[in-house]
């Protein structure tokens, strides 16, 4: 690709009144005349420029996303693929493709801290059941109605009692 850049520089360095001889410059630098002509006229760009235009996130945006993922993971909240897609959508304003998150993670696996989140243990799952919630409320209050704040406190106390 450096050959194309050198050839383009040679064409751009010509004086405005000189007519560029694209075929001569192409032979001199050993590049395809048609491709050089298209790039000189601005019809096409370099492959790298085309690739960067197709990317969902720029390099800076990717660095920001990596930093955010690592912070969440360190806090014990590793993001899922759907969360990654939502973050990318918010950052770029474009819709990520079907497998974007897994491809992006694979490409940045050396920089992203990846961990699995810990699931709930069975005691906590049982404490969250609707039956247990109803049972503890009936024990504590009979027919009394509670606000959502009071209910949350009672559920929290029930969990604390179950885990001790």
Mean pLDDT by 10 residues, the chain (164 residues): 80 82 88 86 74 79 89 84 89 89 89 70 66 69 63 72 58
Instruction: Please tell me whether residues 43 and 13 are part of one structural domain.
Output: yes
> Whole-model pTM?
0.49
Same domain, residue pair 6 and 49: yes
48 and 12 in a single domain? The answer is yes
Residue 114 lies in a domain: no
Does any domain span residue 116?
Answer: no
Reference 81, options 53, 117, 118, 125; nearest CA is 117
Which phi and psi angles does 142 have, rounded to 5°?
70, -115
| Same-domain check for residues 126 and 159 | yes
Indicate left, alpha or beta for 75 from its phi (over 0: left) and psi (-120 to 50: alpha): alpha
Q: How far is CA 160 from CA 9, 128, 145, 163, 164, in A?
A: 73, 12, 22, 5, 6
Token reading at 53: 């235009």
State the pLDDT at residue 164: 46
Tell me what pLDDT residue 143 has: 55
Last residue of a domain, one of 12, 33, 53: 53
Residue 138 lies in a domain: yes
Structural domain for 84, as ranges: 57-107
Spell out a b/e string for 99-121, using b for 16 or more CB atoms within 10 Å of the CB, else e: ebbeebeeeeeeebeeeeeeeee
112 is a domain residue: no
Residues 131 and 145 in one domain: yes
Q: Which of 53, 69, 91 delimits the end of a domain?
A: 53
The two tokens of residue 151 are 């209910």
Total domains present in the chain: 3
Same domain for 126 and 86? no
Reduce the DSSP state of residue 12 to 3 states and report it: helix
Q: Is residue 117 part of a domain?
A: no
Distance CA 100, CA 14 (A): 44
49 and 69 in a common domain:
no
Residue 67 lies in a domain: yes
Please give the pLDDT value at position 122. 66
Whether 49 and 62 share a structural domain: no
Asked whether residue 14 is domain-assigned, the answer is yes
């Amino acid at each position: 690709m450096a050959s194309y850049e050198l050839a383009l520089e040679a064409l751009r360095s010509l004086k405005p009144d000189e007519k560029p001889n694209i075929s001569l410059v192409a032979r001199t630098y050993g590049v395809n005349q048609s491709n050089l002509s298209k790039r000189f006229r601005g019809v096409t760009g370099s492959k790298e420029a085309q690739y960067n235009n197709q990317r969902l996130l720029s390099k800076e945006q990717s660095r920001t996303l990596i930093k955010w993922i690592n912070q969440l993971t360190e806090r014990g909240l590793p993001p899922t693929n759907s969360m990654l897609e939502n973050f990318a959508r918010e950052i770029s304003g474009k819709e990520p493709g079907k497998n974007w998150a897994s491809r992006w993670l694979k490409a940045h696996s050396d920089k992203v801290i990846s961990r699995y989140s810990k699931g709930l243990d069975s005691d906590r799952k049982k404490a969250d059941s609707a039956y247990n919630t109803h049972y503890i409320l009936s024990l504590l209050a009979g027919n009394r109605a509670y606000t959502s704040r009071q209910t949350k406190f009672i559920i929290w106390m029930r969990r604390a009692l179950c885990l001790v």
